[in-house]
């Protein structure tokens, strides 16, 4: 293999639609989130902005556009003591890694097929490890924003975010290890193909446990509620973006949602069969490309699965209260980490049992591993129960 | 690109690291410099592997992988020691840490 | 052609990042410059078709070592990262002389004694093959590394935790 000659056109065909699609989905998701949260809280939500100069409301679908216009025309305020360069760079650094990792998702867009020979957006051999490497950069952006603002609440938010992201990255990666181990490849397309051939990994006991751990860790990694301590309004104003306004704030916002899409996309790739679904057949010899009932069906399935996960995230945000810092750390280190390590062991035994190719043994393995994982989860729960004390009010009696 | 380009670049980076280690007083910056030197060595490993007779043996990447792991352990222990030193001397200035016994 | 351009851009980024990292007065800026250097080097690894090493470089150096350095600076220096004392060491002149000498010594064989450069072989870098190699001939190294990392983890925690002196708690300050 040598470096293939890429023309600018190929690169643009591969990347520009990806950005446009996800930016549009971002706009739609903000609307969806506001509507859904409003419904959970017994409100109506945005319903006024529709087609300009008419009274047609369209359920408030024009709200994202209005928000965007407002954001762009707001004044950009930089605090006097702030580090101007880092204050500017932080939102950009927050957005770029999130956008970059979208390339590693095995989305079978129809126009990518035509240039398959040249641009191989998802054929990278180590796609999964690249994904984790690049999402890790988000942490730095958050720290940069918190530090550059020269504001103690920003700094507290930044440090909280770094501690949280570093802690939850471990269970996140360990639960992805299981899938990599079962497939024997870090290639996203091969992982999807394996699931299309065998079963979606979420359907097995270890896969389900890994998926739940992955999803919770993903919530923490993207600073979503109930893990939104870095931006907890009631404690530290708005955390690391207290001092951000206007377009820079919009960039942070966009980066956060794109990161949500990206990590949901990885969850779909690893556990939910990627672009697999009714009407789609994965071609074994064609490495991840699919035969579809109509072009783009596989990508539609992929995006639909991402949206299912996003909907769960919104639902959790409307339902669960925010955690405390000690609960957050304790949960990561005392519950998720031991469980995911045990899960790797269980998956290893299960893989060896599956190699025997005997149905009875496989069924017995599944039952035993389900029992072991369930027992471990409830045991850890019992162990940790007494440890988390109720809040002590030291200063406010 | 030839092997020589990479070797000269690695030598340059190594010397930048060496310069940092020699001319700065802050212990953390000295640690940066050591990291830069280690990374320059890694670049050499990969370059020699790429231009070797038999790249299929993967000696370069494997050695680099081990070097990265050792370097990570080194940074962790080094920074922990620095924090311990800071607790004792209230500084990480290398030139004011010139005593071996308790004062 | 692409390769040449990419090489020059990445090497300028790497050298610039390294220079800023070792000379910048503000340590936090220094760390971010160091991360730029690591990123440039990771790009060079990609250019040499060592994609797994490039990913590990980003994961370990930028993701983990960078954060560790930031925390260490916040725990030792002032939060702003400014170093208001003299930054250059006493022996800086001889340091520069030695550096220049080392550079010449490193460069001489690279220019003179190496065999004429060969063209790069076409290779098919495979992460899978790397994994097999780690398991088959190098498994002992891998286990020793695991032990080393565990020891480093425990050592770092013990060293950073320090001895908890009972005096500190009842001192009047």
Chain A neighbours, 3+ Cβ pairs < 8 A: C
User: C3 or A120: whose pLDDT is higher?
Assistant: C3
Identify whether A395 is part of a domain. Answer: no
Measured distance CA(A158)–CA(A171) in Å, rounded: 21
Which of chain C's residues have a Cβ under 8 Å away from the Cβ of B42? Answer: 41, 53, 57
Distance from CA of B93 to the nearest CA of C (A): 9
**Structure tokens, A321:** 């209260």
C92 part of contact set with chain B, CB < 8 Å: yes
| CA B13/CA B21 separation, integer angstroms | 13
In a domain, B103, yes or no: no
Structure letter (DSSP) for residue A291: E
Residue A45 near residue A33 (C-beta atoms within 8 A): no
In a domain, B71, yes or no: yes
In a domain, B34, yes or no: yes
Lowest mean pLDDT among C46-50, C86-90, C125-129, C146-150: C86-90
Distance from CA of A76 to the nearest CA of C (A): 23
Mean per-residue pLDDT, A223-252: 81
Looking at the 3D structure of chain A, how many domains does it have? 1
Q: What is the DSSP letter of C65?
A: I
For the entire predicted model, the pTM comes to 0.86
Indicate the residue of A1, A86, A136 with minimum beta-carbon distance to C49.
A1
Q: Is C144 on the interface with B (CB under 8 A)?
A: no
In chain B, the number of structural domains is 1
Nearest CB neighbour to C63, from listed A2, A125, A136? A136
- B47 neighbors B10 (Cβ within 8 angstroms): yes
Tell me if B51 is assigned to some domain: yes
Res. A222 pLDDT band, cuts 50 70 90? confident
| CB-CB neighbors (< 8 A) of C70 in chain A | 143, 162
Write down which chains contact chain B via at least 3 CB pairs under 8 A: C
User: Is residue A205 assigned to a domain?
Assistant: yes
Mean pLDDT for the stretch of residues A57-76 = 82
Domain membership flag for residue B43: yes
* DSSP string computed for A322-346: PPPHHHHHHIIIIIIHHHHHHHHHH
Least confident of A347-356, A385-394, C18-27: A385-394
> What would the DSSP string read from start to end of A350-364?
HHHHHHT--HHHHHH
B73–C14 CB contact, under 8 Å: no
When scoring C8, C30, C65 by the number of chain B Cβ atoms within 10 A, the one with the most, hence best to mutate, is: C65
Between C56, C63, C122, which is nearest A1 by CB? C122
Assess whether chains A and B touch, using the rule of 3 or more C-beta pairs within 8 angstroms: no
Distance, in angstroms, between B79 CA and closest chain C CA?
6
Cross-chain Cβ contact A5/C2 below 8 Å: yes
Q: Which of the given ranges, A10-19, A224-233, B92-101, C46-55, has the highest pLDDT on average?
A: C46-55
Tell me if B79 is assigned to some domain: yes
| Contact assessment for residue A262 and residue A135, using Cβ atoms and an 8 Å cutoff | yes
Q: What is the pLDDT of residues A255-302, one digit of tens each?
A: 889 999 999 999 998 998 877 777 777 665 555 556 666 777 888 888
CATH number for the domain that contains residue B28: 1.10.287.3510
- The predicted-structure confidence for A310-351, as pLDDT tens digits, reads as follows 999 999 988 888 887 878 888 888 888 999 999 999 888 888
- Compute CA distances A125 → A85, A108, A116, B46, whole Å: 36, 17, 15, 18
Determine contact: C164 vs chain B, CB below 8 A. Answer: no
- Phi first, then psi: what are they for A123, rounded to 5°? -95, 5
The reply to whether B101 falls in a domain is no
Which chain C residue is nearest to residue B34, measuring alpha carbons? Answer: C22
The Cα of A138 is separated from the nearest Cα of chain C by a number of Å equal to: 9
**Is A390 inside any structural domain?**
no
Give the range of the structural domain holding residue B56, as residue numbers without chain letter.
3-96
Residue A313 CB partners (closer than 8 Å, separation 6+): A219, A224, A260, A264
Q: Is residue A215 predicted with pLDDT exceeding 90?
A: yes
From C63, which residue of chain A is nearest by alpha-carbon distance?
Answer: A136
Residue B60, domain member (yes or no) = yes
* For C47, nearest residue in chain A (alpha carbons): A3
Asked if residue A3 belongs to a domain, the reply is: no
CA atoms within a 13 Å half-sphere pointing along the CA-CB vector of C41: 38
Q: Is residue A396 part of a domain?
A: no
């Amino acid at each position: 293999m040598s470096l293939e000659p890429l023309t600018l056109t190929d690169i643009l065909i591969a990347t520009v639609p990806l950005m446009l699609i996800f930016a549009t989905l971002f706009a739609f998701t903000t609307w969806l989130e506001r509507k859904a949260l409003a419904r959970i809280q017994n409100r109506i939500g945005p319903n006024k902005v529709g087609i300009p100069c008419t009274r047609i409301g369209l359920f408030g679908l024009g709200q994202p556009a209005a928000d965007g216009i407002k954001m762009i025309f707001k004044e950009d305020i930089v605090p006097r003591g702030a580090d101007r360069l880092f204050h500017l760079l932080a939102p950009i650094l927050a957005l770029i890694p999130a956008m970059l990792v979208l390339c590693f998702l095995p989305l079978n867009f129809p126009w990518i097929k035509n240039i398959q020979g040249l641009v191989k957006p998802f054929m990278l051999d180590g796609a999964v490890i690249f994904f984790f490497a690049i999402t890790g950069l988000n942490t730095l952006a958050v720290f940069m924003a918190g530090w550059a603002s020269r504001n103690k609440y920003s700094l507290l938010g930044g440090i909280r975010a770094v501690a949280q992201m570093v802690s939850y990255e471990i269970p996140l990666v360990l639960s992805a290890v299981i899938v990599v181990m079962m497939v024997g490849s870090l290639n996203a397309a091969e992982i999807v193909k394996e699931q299309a051939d065998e079963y979606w990994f979420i359907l097995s006991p270890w896969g389900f446990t890994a998926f739940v751990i992955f999803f919770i860790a993903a919530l923490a990694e993207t600073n979503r509620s109930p893990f939104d301590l870095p931006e907890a309004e009631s404690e530290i104003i708005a955390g690391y973006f207290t001092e951000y306004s206007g377009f820079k704030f919009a960039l942070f916002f966009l980066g956060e949602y794109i990161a949500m899409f990206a990590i949901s996309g990885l969850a779909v790739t690893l556990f939910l069969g990627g672009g697999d679904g009714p009407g789609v057949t994965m071609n074994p010899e064609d490495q991840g490309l699919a035969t579809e009932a109509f072009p783009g069906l596989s990508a539609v399935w992929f995006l639909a699965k991402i949206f299912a996960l996003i909907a769960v995230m919104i639902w959790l945000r409307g339902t669960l209260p925010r955690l405390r810092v000690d609960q957050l750390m304790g949960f990561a280190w005392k519950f998720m980490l031991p469980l995911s390590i045990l899960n790797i062991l269980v998956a290893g035994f299960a893989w060896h049992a599956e190699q025997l190719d005997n149905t009875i043994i496989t069924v017995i393995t599944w039952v035993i591993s389900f029992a072991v994982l369930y027992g471990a989860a409830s045991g850890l729960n019992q162990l940790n129960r007494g440890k988390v004390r109720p809040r002590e009010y030291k200063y406010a009696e | 690109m030839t092997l020589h380009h990479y070797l000269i670049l690695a030598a340059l980076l190594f010397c930048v690291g060496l310069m940092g280690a020699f001319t700065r007083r802050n212990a953390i910056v000295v640690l940066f410099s050591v990291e830069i030197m280690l990374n320059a060595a890694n670049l050499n490993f990969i370059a020699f592997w790429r231009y070797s007779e038999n790249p299929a043996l993967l000696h370069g990447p494997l050695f680099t992988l081990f070097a990265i792991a050792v370097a990570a352990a080194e940074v962790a222990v080094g920074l922990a020691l620095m924090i311990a030193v800071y607790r004792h001397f209230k500084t990480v200035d290398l030139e004011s840490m010139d005593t071996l016994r308790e004062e | 052609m692409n390769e040449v351009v990419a090489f020059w851009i990445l090497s300028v980024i790497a050298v610039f990042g390294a220079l800023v990292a070792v000379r910048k007065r503000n340590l936090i800026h220094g760390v971010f410059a160091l991360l730029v250097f690591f990123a440039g080097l990771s790009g060079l690894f990609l250019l040499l078709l060592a994609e797994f090493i490039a990913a590990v470089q980003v994961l370990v150096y930028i993701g983990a070592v960078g954060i560790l350095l930031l925390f260490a600076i916040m725990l030792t220096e002032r939060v702003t990262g400014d170093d208001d004392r003299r930054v250059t060491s006493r022996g800086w002149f001889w340091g520069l002389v030695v550096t220049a000498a080392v550079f010449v010594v490193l460069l001489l064989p690279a220019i003179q004694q190496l065999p004429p450069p060969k063209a790069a072989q076409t290779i098919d870098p495979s992460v899978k093959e790397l994994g097999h190699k780690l398991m088959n001939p190098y498994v002992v190294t891998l286990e020793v590394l695991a032990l080393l990392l565990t020891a480093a983890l425990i050592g770092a925690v013990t060293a950073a935790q320090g001895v908890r002196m009972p005096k500190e708690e009842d001192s009047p300050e």
